[in-house]
Amino acid sequence: MPKRFVVAASEFPDLPLFAAGFELAEALTVAAQQLHDTVTPHNTMRTAVRLAVHLLPGADHAGISVIERTQHRRTVAWTDEVVRFAESGHTGREQAPYWENLWSAPVVRLEDSDADDGGAALSELGLRSALSLRLRADRRRLTVLTAYSRKPRAFDEVATRVGRLFTAHVSLALDSATVREQLTEAMRTRDLIGQATGILMERMDMDAAEAFDSLVKASQRENIKLRDLARRIVDANNAT
């Protein structure tokens, strides 16, 4: 009787030399460059799913989802609409038993959706096998890249190892894009607060320290984020 799904729990500390090693290395280098050229996490994930189809042996479609401990799953990037349909059909534990294993294993393979009781939604869409790889993990949620194939048992150990190498690059690029986005937002917030402080200085004849202190106290009093209060003051000033 065929095994319904395989959990590849190994961290693959000793990666093998592939027969086409130079070709794989070159492909991963190009992929890494494309990933690191993205400027936001969303663009990084959109680029990652497109690259996954080209790099992972056997992959026909790919998607990235965020899985909550509550079993809620949100698809954030996809190559085709079939991926969104496939993942929206798996929202409960009984429907997707192999996803549950991602909390304890970095990689999970679904060998054949026709043979797996939880793979009916995939089978109906013509998707016979899947390879899920963790990108991020904490106590509350997982970020997972899943490759899908129209063939059963499409993802072997080689595909899994290539997937592990690829997702390592994706994770690094995603972290880098997240930091850049946070820094950009921090600079925008600083500029916004600076503008609001300047407006208060002019209107209320205050120095910079007094104006900023007034802004902070108003934020606490009204239970509103300092950034949002600053934006409100700037927008009101621009409207006059």
Write the CATH number for 165.
3.30.450.40
Mean pLDDT of 170-178: 92
What is d(CA 159, CA 157) in angstroms, rounded to the nearest whole number?
5
One domain for residues 165 and 186: no
pTM for this predicted structure:
0.74
One domain for residues 124 and 32: yes
Residue 3's pLDDT band (cuts 50, 70, 90): very low
One domain for residues 192 and 163: no
Query: Closest by alpha carbon to 99, among 126, 137, 125, 61?
Result: 137
One domain for residues 128 and 207: no
One domain for residues 22 and 126: yes
Sign of the Cα torsion 24, 30, 31, 32 reads positive
pLDDT at 161: 92
One domain for residues 97 and 200: no
Is the pLDDT at 234 greater than 80, yes or no? yes
Is the pLDDT at 19 greater than 50, yes or no? no
Is the pLDDT at 204 greater than 80, yes or no? yes
One domain for residues 168 and 201: no
What is the domain range of residue 232? 182-239
pLDDT tens digits, 22-63: 588 888 888 899 999 998 999 999 999 999 999 999 999 999
Query: What is residue 126's DSSP assignment?
Result: T
Is the pLDDT at 71 greater than 80, yes or no? no
One domain for residues 234 and 118: no
One domain for residues 38 and 69: yes
Residue 96's pLDDT band (cuts 50, 70, 90): low
Q: Best-predicted range by mean pLDDT among 7-11, 14-18, 135-139, 174-178?
A: 174-178
pLDDT above 70 as % of the chain: 84
Cβ neighbours around 132 below 10 Å, total = 28
pLDDT tens digits, 119-153: 677 888 889 999 999 998 888 888 999 999 999 99
pLDDT at 239: 82
pLDDT at 104: 85
One domain for residues 186 and 173: no
Coil vs helix vs strand at 195: helix
Residue 5's pLDDT band (cuts 50, 70, 90): very low
One domain for residues 169 and 212: no
The residue type found at 79 is T
Is the pLDDT at 166 greater than 50, yes or no? yes
